[in-house]
Every structure is written in C-alpha cells, then in structure tokens.
Structure 1
Amino acid sequence: MAGRHHATNESTDRAANDDANDAEANGDADRGTPRGTGPSRRSFLTHLVAAPTLALVTRATADALAAQPAHAVVPSLPAIADVIDLGDLFILAGAPTSALLALAVETDGTIRFRLPREEVGQGLTTAVAMLVAEELDAPLAHVRVELDDARPELLFNQLTGSSNSVRSLYGPVRQCAATARARLVAAAAHRWGVSPTSLTTANGAVRATDGRTADYGDLAAAAADPGLVVLGASPKKRAGHTLVGQPTGRVDARAMVTGALQYTLDLDVPGAKPCVVRRPPTLGGTVRTVTNLAAVRAMPGVLHVVTVATGVAVVAETFGQAIDAKSALQVTWGPGPADRLSDTEIRAKLRAATPPLLVPPLLTPYVDAEFDFAFVSHAPMETNSAIADVREDRAEIWSGLKSPIVARETIAADLGLPLSKVQVHVVQAGGSFGRRLFFDAALEAARISKACRRPVRLMWTRVDDTRHGRMRPATHHRIRATHLLGEVLSFEHRVAAAETDFRHGLGEIITATAAHLPLGIGNATLAQTLFLTTVKSPYHFGLTTQALTEVPTGIPTASWRSVYSANTRGAEEIVVDELAARTGRDPYAFRRSFLKTDAQRAVLDKAAKEGNWGRPMEAGCAQGIAFHEEYKSRTACLVEIDTRDPDHVRVTRAVIAVDVGLPVNPRGLEAQMIGGLTDAISTTLRAGLHLDKGLPLEGSYSQFHWAKQRDTPRDVRVFVLPATGDEPGGAGELGVPAAVGAIANAWARATGSEPRSFPLDFDVDFTPYPR
C-alpha cells in the first residue's frame, strides 16, 4: 500500500479531508470522502497556502501578548526573528509541496517511508521513524526510513538546514502515517463487515472488539484498493503519544558501529573506478599546463588523467595508485581570487568594513568590546565524495547532499542533458555542519566522468577537505552597551564578515540563480534575510540593534553550524557578563533580570540549579554561564573550566538545559546539545584556520585542532525540559552559541582576562604540509 497526502496541522485547525482531494490533485488511488462534501481542490490549496501565514501572525501575536512582564525598566522592541524566523519562512515556502510524501506498507508488515531530507548523523531518520511508528501504532523496528532521490517537484521542500527538518516534517509526516492507518482500519472493517469506529490499532495490527486481529501486512493489498471508502484521518493529540517524547536509541546505531551502514564510497556501482584530484596551491587557482602528462599516464594502474575546472583528476585501479599519480603530477598553476590574502589582511578588511556605532556614550557608563573570530573548517568525519556515471544520453550521481534538487538541476545544465535524464541519489553522509548544502563533489565527479567516459568514484583527501573545502567565514564584531543605575539603556552590535556563500539558494535553481546576481542584489540579499531572521537578543536591553556587513573575499565559504549566531550571540553573551560586572551583579542573576519571558528564565534556572552555580572553585578554575534562543527553542549552558595548565585548558564539566517546545526524541536532543558543546569547545579554545597567501595552513585533524576526547568534559549533563508546546522547535544549531559564551566567560573569570580573539589559543604549532 502506498499513499500521498495533504498535510494537516492541529494547531491551526486545518481539516484532514485527505482522500478525495488527493485523488484529484495527485492522481492517486485514494478515494474516500464523497465529492462535494469537503472543500474543493482550489479552496483546499488556498487554505493550505494561507494557513502558515495566518499561523505565523497568530503565533507572533500570541507570543507578544503572553510575554512576561520585564524585570528591566527599559524594554526592547521585538526583533524580526521574534516575529518570523528563517524556519517559519522555509515552512511557508515548502507548504504547497509538503504533502508529497511516500509511505508504503508491505505484505510482510514492513513500513517504508521515503524521507525528502538528508541524514548526516543528526538523528533525523530516527525522529521520523518515531513519528511514523507513533501514528501507525506500529513497532519502531517495523519502520524503515529511506532517503529519497532528488525530486524537483518538491521545489523548496527538500533542503536540509536551518534546524528545520523536524519542524517542517512534524505535521506532514504524522498526517501521512495517520492516513495510512485510516486505510488499514477501513480495509479491516470492510473485511469483517463492521464499523471502522469500532476498531482499534496496536503493535502493527488492527483489532476488533470480538478479539479478531489482522496484521498490517495482511491488510496492505486491500488498503490500497482504489474503491475503498475511508473515513477522515487526523494525527494523534500530544496526550495520546506513547513513543514520541520518549528517549529512543538511533535506529541506525547498530549498522554504524558494525560498519554495515553504507556511505557514498561504500556503494558498489559497477565499473566506478577510484579518482582523486590534484588541487591548486591557492584557493580557486587554475590549471595552465601539465608538463609530465605522458609519464603519469604510464604509471601503474592509471586509467585517465584529465583536467577539469578545479584541478587535474587522476582515475586509477586503486586509490593508492591514484594518489601516487596525483602526487607525481607537475602542474603550472594560474592565480586564484584570494592569492594575496592572509589573516592580517582579512582582519584589516573586516575592521574597516564594520559600520560605526550610533549611540554616543556621552552621559552614561558603557561597555565597548571588539571581537575577532577566525575561519573554521566544517571538518566532517567523511570527506567530500561522490560517484558519477555520465553517458552521452544520461547521468547518474550518488552523494551526500543537503540540497539535492539544485544539485540535479545544476549538474544537468552543466552536462547539457535534459533534467529527466539525470538521476541524483541522496546517500547518508558522515557529518556536514552545513558543508553538504553545497554539492561540489557531485558536480566535480560528473565533470570527470564525462571527460573520462566512464563511472568514477571521487574522494577528496583529508588535506583537500581541510584546505580546499568551504569554511565558516571570519568575522569582526563591535559592540557597545550603555547602562545607568543598573539598567541597560542600549545594546548595539555591528558584525563584519567575510561573505557567506548562499548560492545553493533555497535548494532549487530559481533562488540559486538569483543568488548569483551582482553584489547587493543576490547573495547579499539572502545573507541579510538569514541574519535578520535568525539573530536576536533575548534580553530587554533598551534600544537594541544588530546589523551585518559582508565583505567579498574570493574565499570559498558556506553556512557553518549556527551560521551567524555562533559568533554573534557568543560575543554578546561575553558582553552580558561584562555588563554584569560593571553593574556589580552576578552573571546568572543579571541575565535572569533581563530575560523577556518565564520560558527563558525556566531554562536558565534549570542550568544554574543543576550546575550548582556559584560553588567555590580553585584558583585558575571557574564557572561560566550563557543563554541562547533561536528557532522557537531555547537553551542555557553552564560550564566549568580549568586553566591551570596554559598548554591544556580544559572544560571539565558542563550542564545544559534545553526547551524545544515538543521534544520528539529527548535522547537525540541530548546528542545534538553535546555536539554543539563540542563544536563550541573546539572553536573557542583551539580550532581555526590560518589563511596564508590564499590557502589555509592546516591540512589535517592533527593541525586543525578539533577537540579530542581528552579535551572534552567527562561530566556532561543535558536536561531536556518537558513539553511546553504542541510542536517541536529547531535543535540542530541551538547548542553552539550559548556554549561559546559560557566557555569564554568561564575562561575570563578563571584568568582575569577579557577574551577578544578566537580561538583563544591559535598558535601555528605544526609544520604545514607543502602547497
């Protein structure tokens, strides 16, 4: 049995009315509600498009009315992100196609769901499997979540990012599964000649009051009957959940630890040969000549040596032979767009581009602070990789992709093939943190396969991935806060950043093409939109302004976990501690006084209580605390740090409290928050990229100092607050900003120094690999 449905949303009272409208709109077999008894297809689609807009307005108005009285004397006006955030925009853009989901119940009782998102280790497949199992009253072990291929008909609805997957899928997936359950019940009712309302479902079966049962597998064929009469289907209310909200282990955990889980380079694609690329000595450099081409082609195992836009590709029988041949190449290179840029020049450019502050500190005390954050690699465990099989009349691609629609559309155009002749398979990836929003490897592999006229298995080496991969932009921050008589009167924050590349658009070709328009129109517009719909202050700090200026550099960049918030809110939380010190207040109590809502204070209170805030610490050790709110979720982080060994500063303990509205899988949330903490430890203390004449010096994990096990706290406790709403908020990016602020604040209290440049320990303590 397979079905497609239109989504409903209990919080906005959208009617289910699935079957008749599905059959008309999608050509599906489902027919249950008599024509004429429900809204027409036109009116239903109008309601579907309008409802998210009304929901956003209603939600924003309700939040404003429900805001708790401020303890601060000078309240702040809501920021744009308080009214509508980036996740809201994505949900609205994807609403017209959010119902195009595929679920199948097979005759053996297996339930297969095609997920139009990417799994990169964030636990999305587990959360979605839980939603399906919950609505179908089926064992979780019966559910198989499979990654869907690129589907251009989904438009904006197949991009994985902005902490939006669970938020956007929560309603549609539940409605899809609820519709399947209704059809299975209807099939059983027809078989037994009873009313569907007399039947119940449990443990993957339909049950009658007289004791008869029928497994879903036995009912699958009958449930797919086009003539079946089906009552309306509605997802369960939150009070009826038995699985959602329960801590649940990952459905793919065993496959991960046993090596059974297949990533791109594990796939057995017939004829695909190993491939690596010799890359330029500077970012974006070009190939001029290869002087020993014949000699390299004659090396053992070498099958092809071809020049592409990104370098010289070698295809061989084994990866070892390909790497040996790549190293032997003698190439003359042309310049890249950032050849003259090093850290000093980048920081000078950003400082010069930072707009002036508006509020002069003439009559009041104030805090001024400036911060620098270095470039950072995404550093996923799995490097960039792809398999491509390009023929004269068709192409097939396999890769870990977070924006597969625009990948397929771009590759088709680049190869000169009709879109219908290009198939792109989404493969589970070993990490992303924003990196796989871009499809560099897939496009590069397609070009190499076309040039060689054979399938290729492209692998970026670790050095390739660290030096030539995309990176989080360097940023400079200028903050001024004025205060008087214990009150904060104004808070200004100016951010200057190396331009973040958003040329993947919203996941499809229209916005991706628009992002290529000249500076100030295309990419810059996306940057400003993202900044304004994600960055906000949670405090009543009087006149509050936050602004972004971006500087084009020619350096390949991409969104990095938390995008602008990690640095922007991290820097702000440092200034909050300094404001507390200037006004003679405790950092926790100071925050509590200025937070806007009880929900925010509840999270902060939980972290402070469970972390025993204020406990005595030895000299050189200290606590730090910080808060962050984004994507309808909020978190507070308390850490303890030991700086007594300056060569090995360690976070020794962390306590995190998190409120995401409705937690689908609390265990997955714990993992997300611990991951955010690890990212914050790394980038706050030691991990960054030194740019030197157009190329990062770092080339591996041994040089890019990501936190190892000995650098992470043994004592980490995450407290997921009970459900405070009927829908989930975002969580993937939530954990980094508060942890950045907490770690920096703990370091400041332990050392008596003001943290201003990150990472704090940023020496070149290694011998860089040759260019």
Structure 2
Amino acid sequence: MTLLKTNRRDFLKMAATASGGLLLGFHWAAAEATASELEVVRASALAAGEIPFNSYLSISPDDVITIFSPNPELGQNIKTSFPMIVAEELDADWSKVHVMQAALDTKKYERQVTGGSGAIPHSWERLRKAGATARHMLMEAAAKKWNVPVASLTAEKSVVFHKESGRKATYGELATDASAIAVPTDVKLKDKKDFKLIGTAVRNVDNKEMITGKPLYGLDFYREGMLFAMLQRPPAFGTKIKTIDVSAAKTMPGIVDVVTFKNNIAIVGKSTWQVNKARKAVKVEYEAEGKLESTADHDQLFKTLLDSKDATVVSVKRKDGDVDTAFKSAAKVISREYQCPFLSHSPMEPMNFFAHVRPDGVELVGPSQTPDMARNETAKLLSIPPEQITLELTRLGGGFGRRLKADYVLEAAELSSIIKAPVKVIWTREDDMTGGSYRPAVRYRFEAALDAQGNLVAYKLRGVGINAGNCTREDNFPSGAVDHLLIESVEHKSPITTGAWRAPITNFLAFAEQAFIDEVAMAAGKDPVVFRLALLDKAKTSPVGAIKYDIDRMKAVINLAVEKSQWGKKKGVSQGFSVYFSHRSYVAQVAEIEMKKGKPVLQKIHAAADCGVVVNLSGANQQVRGGVVDGLGHALYGSLTFKDGAAEQKNFNAYRLIRMKEVPPIDVHFVNNGIDPTGLGEPALPPTGGAVANALFKALGKRLYNQPFSKQEELKGVALGERM
C-alpha cells in the first residue's frame, strides 16, 4: 500500500481554488494568540506559498472548512477534538469540516508533542480565537454585502442569517469577500453555556479510514524503491557483540546488505519476509560488559536501599514539620511496602520509521510522539542542521510513552546514511518486548503515625526505583494535609532502559498510596472516604507547606463517585475507593466486587472525572474507559522480569494482557465545573489499582501489596476479572 501523503504544498493547492476563498492563519507559538497574529492571505499568495503563520483554517467556496492538526495522533482523539474547538466558535457545520495532519514545522507550531495530557490545555484558547475571528470576518462580509449592522446577524451551521430580511448566505459564498475584511484586533468568545458542538459525542475523523484499512499508520507507509531492514540487537542489556558471521545471511534471496553499526546488526532487503528470515541466519556471539542484572538482584537491592542512611544516595523531596518526634510520640504506627515490576509499553503497532538520507537533506516519515526531538537528535547524529530534515507524521498505532523516545528513528536515519538508500526499519513484537524502554520497577515504603483520636499526624514515604528518576510525587495528596511529612526518593542506575509509561510514576504510586491510606483509615476506625475528606478539609483550613492540587476539585470528584456508586449503601457488594490527581485532572473510582460461587468477581467500576470542559464526550468517555482498562489489566497481569540482563517475556504468550471478557462495565461521569480543559489522556489510569485492591480487601479480608495481583499468594486461583 502507498500512504496518501498530504503535505503543505498539497494543502495550499487545495485551499487556493480558482474562485477564491478565505484562509485564516493563526499563530501557535505564543502562550495566548492575539488577533494581531492572525492574518488573511489571499488565494494568489497561498499558491505562491506565502503563508506567514503556523496553522490554518480555510473556508473554500464550496463550503469545505479545513484545519491542520499539528499534534501526533495516537488514539487520544486530538485530531478530532482540535477542529471541534475551532468549529464551535466558527458556528460551522461539522459535516463540512475536513481535518489534515500537519508535518513537523517548529517555525509554525509550538508543542508539537503527544505526552503529558497537555495538548488541549495548551491550545484551547488559540483554537477558539481562530474560529471566532473567522466567524466575525464572515459576518462583516455579509453585513457589507447587505448593508446591515453586524449586530443584526446570526450564524449557524456555516450559514449567516439576517432574520429581519430573511436573507442568508453560506460561508463559502462569503469567503472571498471576507478575505478583504481587516482582521479584528479583538473577538468575543462564546459563553461556554452556549456551546453546541463542544460537549457532544463526535466520531473520530479517522474512523472510516481505520475500519476500511486505509493507509494511516507508519507500518502502512511505502515509497517506491525503498528497502526494508530489521536489526539484530543484543539479547541482554549490558552485553556487546563479540563475534559475528553474516555470510549465510548475505547470500539469501532478496538481501541487499548486512551492516554492523554501534551494537546492532542490520539486515537490509527487498521485503520484510526475506529480511526477517535472513536475520535468523546471522550468527552472533555476545559478551557481558559488566554484571548482568536479574529481577532477583533488584529485589534484594530494593530492600537494601529502603534502609539506606547514605545522604548521597537518598534524595529528600519534601520535608514538613518534625517527623521523627511525631512518630516517637504516636499512639499507633502503620508501615507497609509495595512493589511493582517492569512493564512493556506493548503498543499494537511495533516501532518503525522510514528515512532517506540524501546529500541535500533528510526525509523522515513515521509515528513519533516527539517529532521535533526526533529531528534534532537525527541532526546531531548526522552532524547537519535540523532545517535540512523534514519529518512527516503518520497516525500512531499506540505509544503510551514508548514513542516519546527517538531510538528507532535514529536507527533508520543512521542506516540510510550508511547504505545510501531510502530504508524503513521495522521492529518485530519480540524486538519491542525485549529491547524496549520499560516502565521502571519500583518499591515503596509508607509509614503513618496516628494520635489517640485516630488523626493522621505524621507521614513518610520512601521510593526506590530502577532508572526511575524521582519515583515520588512529593506534592500530591496527602502532602499539605499532614503536619509532619517526609518524602524521599532513591534511584538505582541500570543498563536496562526505562522511560515514561502512561501516567509516569503515578501509574503504580497511586495504587500504593490509595491502598495505604485505606489501611490507615481502617487503623483509625474511620470510613476511608470520610477519612480522605477530613484530610482535604484540613489542607484547606490549616495547610502545611505548599498545596499543589485543587482541594475543591478533588472533593468534587470524590462526592460524585460516592453519589453515583451509592457508596456504602449496597448489600452483598464489596466496594473499594480510590482518588487521584495527575496531569492537572482529578479522577475518583469505586470498584465493586461480588462473591459468586465462593469467588470474587469484579462487577463494575464507577469513575468520576474532572478534566474541565469536555470537548468530545465520545472521546472523553473512551479515554476514561481506556485508562481504567489499562490500569486494571496491568495491575492484574502486567509483569516483565529479567534473567542475566535479558527480558524473560518475549511475546504475548508469556506477557499477559487483560482480555475482553475480563473487562467489567465502567460507569463514567464528569464534573461539570466549566473550567478550561485540563487533560484526560492519563489521569483515569492511576486510581484503578487502588480501587480494585481496596474492594478485594473488603471481599476477601486480604491486603495486596505487590503487582501484578494475579501472581500474589492472596489471589491464587481467583479469576477476578472473569464475570460469570
């Protein structure tokens, strides 16, 4: 298949129709776009490529509205939500909106990144202003044409109306005249209560192409004359090539070359089948560069570092009050430890990228969450200016943080520079699983001190992570609600590569924190929800140190989850609660377990989310449900272990993922507080493990301290997710 490319010049040709039209450019580089940054560009100028701004809203005479979407699309629905925001302020007919993926262009775009759940918060206001400005200019054009005041006009579904005279005109009919209107210095945005499109359920703009198998993804991309390549990488972290024999592989059908660079062996050929077959014929021996780490080593290391008194190793992240004194005088002390394993990102589409390194420049095509970083690292690798590199984005078949890195892009670029030909590097599932950038393995120790009345007076947390950086979130709840608090982090450097995994750090930390708080509440003799609300009230009335979370927003999702789940009111149902703040948003969850034939069955999960204004109700629902399923599946089953530096799980036959029949009904509700959007790609995942673990304790009377749950003694023989 050939990927249908839509580049900047194609867009200009489409927009610059012979009969004229309006194309409005809006600037993405400033924190808040102003009307002075918006400019009308006539069709003749467009054809010549004279476009001074970064992103473009066009209205053609045939009423088609087109917008470039600059951010990488990996399933977070940004390619649908961005144009929805513009269309809302434009009062556009959504059926006439056409969306196009923008290529990388740092002169025109800011934050051309997918990660951190930050795309909508970053672009919300500038997108609204772009739509509102175009709408105003169209109405100005109609007012001049009909010689009536602009205030007497209304607009709806791409049509301007003058109700008094009964006249109307489509946006396409007005577009050419509107291009002569001066861009307003200021425009009034809609009151959010007047939104008609935002907040509704809108289908993903790529649905039809995805369902019918149209070429959208990196693996679909094909360029006539390009070669295919797969790499033989070291089977264990911390090893290097000792001897190689590629003679047999080189003589196999379809093989063009076998190249060794850095610590890799690239097999290059005319098809993936031929290349993969030849790779198996390569004979290579590896040797260790140092100690090869195993999971058993890490288990011992965690215990040692949790007890370390070495100030050069232990990093204090936050300290409030006098923790030591508070613990010495406490009426009761609770201490627990929690541990999680490495996890593979396992996106449905394995890593791949196309590169063509030419004397006059470099062309890159493929799926990346950080295209600018990929280009800059390629420029550094090849010792050329970044301006000599173009990068075209395809849709991403999943990422979850794995595609924040550029290693697979650099492989393609370096190989192309060596073989002097266009090449597409493709990873297999085994490559992805064994040579990946994993979610770090971490162990936490929590300690809490209660007074005689069951009040939380002191709190300690130490985290130890394998290549995890700071494995705590020192300013998250309950920080600020406890008089005496100590948060510490320890990092062990390892050859095993790690990286951001969906909801970095909080994906497990939230489970540990929320399970521990439940246990502390029980020791205090208090309902776990009441216990959390009391801590939040204390943080509001008597804050200790910095408060980095919104207390009222957190309380709102708690109260909504309590209401929708009928917390504590259902008979025969064991409910577990969890609430978490991450990536500027808040999610509370209640998991419900019923005993069926003597076994616990997860019957439902209620989720209450506050992400500010919900742009696309369909997309938001799926983001929450997807986050819950991701959090549940990895809490139950996710585990990647190492033996002598090598991953022991190499494919899905050994690396367990959640199955459809194990997913319970998920009841989703949103807090409608009218604030600007705050992100939703990650916040629904962290609370899930805690809610399920707390429900399991109520059902079985057994606490879970490690993930995956399915491997713990407490759950042996339990098919938790499989409903009967």
TM bin (shorter chain): 0.7 to 0.9
- What is the alpha-carbon root mean square deviation over aligned residues? 3.0
**Contact residue 6 and residue 18 of structure 1 kept, 8 A:** no
The structure-2 alpha-carbon separation of the partners of 1:763 and 1:657, relative to structure 1 and needing over 3 Å to count, comes to closer
- Which residue identity is paired with 1:172? R
Aligned to 1:678, which of 629, 637, 652?
Answer: 629
* Matched residue, 2:558: 604
Equivalent residue in structure 1 for 2:668, among 718, 740, 752: 718
Partner-residue secondary structure (3-state), 2:280: helix
Matching residue within 436, 454, 460 for 1:492 = 460
Output the CA distance in 2 between the equivalents of 1:164 and 1:568: 21
Q: Which runs of 5+ in 1 are unaligned?
A: 31-98, 501-523, 766-771
CA gap 1:395/1:598 in 2 versus in 1, 3 angstroms: closer
Q: Tell me by how many angstroms 1:138 deviates.
A: 0.9
Residue 26 of structure 2: aligned partner: 5
Counterpart position of 1:118? 72
Q: Which moved more, 1:158-167 or 1:604-613?
A: 604-613
Instruction: After TM superposition, list the pairs within 5 Å mapping 1:242-281 onto structure 2.
Output: 242-260=196-214, 262-281=216-235
In the alignment, structure 1 residue 455 sits paired with structure 2 residue 406? no
Matches within 5 A, 1:608-687: 608-614=562-568, 622-641=574-593, 651-687=602-638
Listed as ranges, the matches of 1:123-272 within 5 Å are: 123-153=77-107, 157-209=111-163, 210-225=165-180, 228=182, 230=184, 232-260=186-214, 262-272=216-226
Q: Partners in 2 of 1:763 and 1:588 — Cα distance?
A: 26
TM-score (norm 1): 0.79
Distance in 1, matches of 2:144 and 2:183, equals: 9
SS of aligned partner of 2:350? coil
Matched residues in 2 for 1:192 and 1:606: separation? 51
Name the aligned partner's letter for residue 313 of structure 1: A
What is the distance in 2 between the residues matched to 1:193 and 1:125?
39
Q: Contact 2:70 / 2:109 at 8 angstroms: preserved in 1?
A: no
Residue 219 of structure 2 contacts residue 349 of structure 2 at CA under 8 Å; is this kept in 1? no
Superposed displacement of residue 457, structure 1: 2.1
Equivalent residue in structure 2 for 1:576, among 498, 517, 530: 517
Deviation at 1:284, TM superposition (A): 5.6
Is the 1:272–1:456 Cα contact (8 Å) retained in structure 2? Answer: yes
How has the CA–CA distance of structure 1 residues 315 and 187 changed in structure 2, closer, same or farther, with 3 Å as cutoff?
farther
Q: Does 1:321 align with 2:286?
A: no
- What is the identity, as a one-letter code, of the residue corresponding to 1:739? T
Given the alignment, which residue of 301, 305, 320 partners 1:349?
301
2:491 corresponds to which of 544, 547, 550:
550
**1:359 counterpart (324, 348, 361):** 324
2:348 maps to which of 364, 381, 405: 381
Write the letter of the residue equivalent to 2:705. Answer: R
User: Structure 1 652/467 Cα, relative in aligned 2: closer, same or farther at 3 Å?
Assistant: farther
- Please state how far the C-alpha of 1:479 moved relative to its aligned partner: 0.8
Deviations 1:448-488 (A, max 9, x none): 22222222222111111111111110111111111121211
Q: CA shift at 1:314, angstroms?
A: 1.6
Answer whether contact 1:297 1:303 (CA < 8 A) is retained: yes
Task: Count residues in correspondence.
Answer: 655
Offset at 1:238? 0.7
Which residue among 446, 449, 460 is the counterpart of 1:479?
A: 446
Unmatched 5+ residue regions in structure 2? 1-21, 44-52, 310-315, 317-322, 538-550, 717-724
Identity of aligned pairs, percent? 28
Aligned partner letter, 1:584: G
Amino acid at match of 1:499: N
> Measured at CA, do residues 645 and 405 of structure 1 come closer, stay the same or move farther in structure 2, by a change above 3 Å?
farther
Q: Which residue of 2 aligns with 1:509?
A: none
Picking from 246, 249, 264, the partner of 1:296 is: 249
**350-359 vs 363-372, greater mean Cα deviation:** 350-359
Distance in 2, matches of 1:112 and 1:350, equals: 54
1:120 shift after superposition = 0.5
Evaluate the alpha carbon distance shift between residue 139 and residue 359 of structure 1 in structure 2; reply closer, same or farther with a 3 A threshold: farther
CA contact (8 A) 1:118 1:401 kept: yes
Q: Distance in 1 between matches of 2:298 and 2:521?
A: 32
| In structure 2, distance between residues paired with 1:532 and 1:613 | 29
State how far apart, in whole Å, the 1-side matches of 2:480 and 2:507 are.
Answer: 17
Shift of the 373–17 alpha-carbon distance from structure 1 to 2, 3 Å rule, reads closer
Deviation at 1:531, TM superposition (A): 4.3
SS at match of 2:608: strand
Retained in 2: the 8 A contact 1:475–1:495? yes
Q: 2:413 aligns with which of 446, 468, 471?
A: 446
How far is the alpha carbon of 1:759 from its aligned partner?
1.2
Q: What residue number does 2:481 align with?
A: 540
Alpha-carbon shift at residue 29 of structure 1 (Å): 7.5
1:692 is matched with which residue: 643, 648, 652? Answer: 643
**Per-residue deviation at 1:103?**
2.2
